[in-house]
Amino acid sequence: MAAGAGREPRIERALLSVQEKRGLDQLGPGLQALGVELWATSGTRADLVRIGCPVHAVEELTGVDAWFGGRVKTLHPAVFGGILAPRTPEGLRELTERGLRSFDLVVVNFYPFERHLAEAPTATDREEFVDIGGVSLARAAAKNHASVGVVTDPSEYPALLEELRTRDGRLSDASRLRLAIAAFARCSRYDAAIALGLAPAADAPAALPAEVRFRGDPLALRYGENPHQAAAVYDFAGPAPLEEPPLPLTTLKGESLSYTNLLDLEAAIGLVEEFDRPAAAVVKHATPCGVAVAPTIEAALAAAIATDSVARYGCAVAVNRTLGTADLAALHGVFVDLLAVPGLHDGTLAELGRRAKLKVVQAPIVHPSPRRWEARTALGRLLVQAADHRPLEPAKLRHVCGPRLGDAELDALAFGWSVVRHAKSNAIVLAQGSATVGVGSGQPTRVKAVELACEVAGARARGAVLASDAFFPFADGIETAARHGVRAIVQPGGSLRDPEVIAAADRAGMSMYFTGWRVFRH
């Protein structure tokens, strides 16, 4: 017997309730050989019986069959009393008085909610895949880990059996604590997956779906970058171990990606996922400097690249269609650092191979974007908010001055709005049809953003439409746009000086529409 093992409880009775049957054919006989008395819920018991393991049914303890189609099986004092009872003289006396059996080991895993998300399209459907009893068993055993071992991962079975064999059927205090922490972590991840799976997108940050350890409860914030985005802040308890989880992309060419490469990819892919038609986005320093939608990817690339001949140097580019060799003509003479594609036609990668420094990644690019949350850090804390996918419906825009626009012109406003919400504030986008001609972003004043966008556009500003991510606090931005020939503006409205801003647009003969909500990106 190992030193100190005599002071640790021996595993004499185990409760098994597993959805994942992997390893059960080794665990059951292994525990039986150690003299452990086995109890199990109906499905697990049937599997153990099939492999020849004597096992008691939980119903022998509870006196009832499964209720409500299996929703209530283990939720009974006869089960949880045997797990949670303190192994003190008082606790053992109460167990005897109540005629309960104590459990020294609980082996449980949960109904696989995460794996059923794709096949359960609505929150109501997904609710049926939420495990209650299994999670409750794991938490109860983990709470009483001083006396009860708990295993929630089949990969732990071999180590469990080996320790029991070498320690006369006992688990060390350290092992029981480690397994309890693993059980609580599994419960946390499971609850986070459920919260994200059931919640509307705006409420997604109620739980964090990542391997991040944190202290205490998340602090709900008033809202995210914009009032329609929910947000929360988490306090790190320490960095999670780096297990190199696979990124949702494959590097097809070039060196490994950097931190800033990933930020540029996030921005570029997010832009082209806005559109169901062929689209291309040019990004520099994680902000757009050219975006276009066109009948073909080649045309979209050409229009996006043409937006800013200076900013595009060393850019990241994303497209939302499979890229072919003919499409590459649009990139001739342009230094592209990083290219993201959903796929490549035959021969395209070989053609791209002629660009020595180009990095090419294949990533899932879909419309609408599946990303539900985004995060950054501040003051040593993690800030999480829902991703902004709120659609703009041109028919619901509020017309405040100037000629009413036709459908094509309203579509141009909607295109500009889709792009400007990806630019850093203060942000202004000028568009002709479904292509940008000027982007001004990251400016401390809105009029400077207008000036920059108009400078980039040059003569192309005349007749363009303008999208602003937040309201105009003064009329100067409107007057600047008017001098450059901008003919229509879409903006949130809501400034104290809206009457002055509207009057300036009206004097210039410009059409102006209010959305009633902003798309600020700090």
pLDDT at 76: 84
Query: What predicted TM-score, i.e. pTM, was given to this entire model?
Result: 0.66
- Indicate left, alpha or beta for 374 from its phi (over 0: left) and psi (-120 to 50: alpha): beta
Q: Which domains does the chain have, with CATH numbers?
A: 8-197 (3.40.50.1380), 201-238+375-388 (no CATH), 250-362 (3.40.140.20), 391-514 (3.40.140.20)
Instruction: Name every residue whose Cβ is closer than 8 Å to that of residue 170 and which is 6 or more positions away in sequence.
Output: 5, 8, 9, 10, 11, 164
Rounded Cα gap, residues 419 and 397, in angstroms: 17
Neighbours of 221 (CB within 10 A): 15
Portion of the chain with pLDDT greater than 90, in percent: 56
Return the exposure string of 443-454: e unless at least 16 CB atoms fall within 10 Å of the residue's CB, then b: beebbbbbbbbb
Sole residue written with tokens 């009872």: 85
3-state secondary structure of 39: strand
Using alpha carbons, list the distances in angstroms from residue 246 to 112, 243, 395, 481, 513.
Answer: 21, 9, 42, 46, 44
- Spatial CA neighbour of 10 closest among 77, 78, 87, 79: 87
pLDDT at 122: 57
For residue range 174-198, list pLDDT tens digits in order.
Answer: 999 999 999 998 888 778 777 766 7
- Indicate left, alpha or beta for 348 from its phi (over 0: left) and psi (-120 to 50: alpha): alpha
pLDDT at 256: 80
Sole residue written with tokens 């006992």: 170
User: Per-residue pLDDT averaged across 414-418, rounded?
Assistant: 96
Question: Burial of 420 by CB count in 10 Å (0-12 exposed, 13-18 middle, 19+ buried)?
Answer: buried
Active site members: 143, 285
Sole residue written with tokens 């008082």: 90
Rounded Cα gap, residues 202 and 221, in angstroms: 13
Return the exposure string of 252-270: e unless at least 16 CB atoms fall within 10 Å of the residue's CB, then b: bbbeebeeebeebbbbbbb
For residue range 28-55, list pLDDT tens digits in order.
Answer: 999 999 999 999 888 899 999 999 999 9
For residue range 263-278, list pLDDT tens digits in order.
Answer: 899 999 999 999 999 9
Rounded Cα gap, residues 268 and 201, in angstroms: 21
User: Per-residue pLDDT averaged across 12-29, rounded?
Assistant: 92
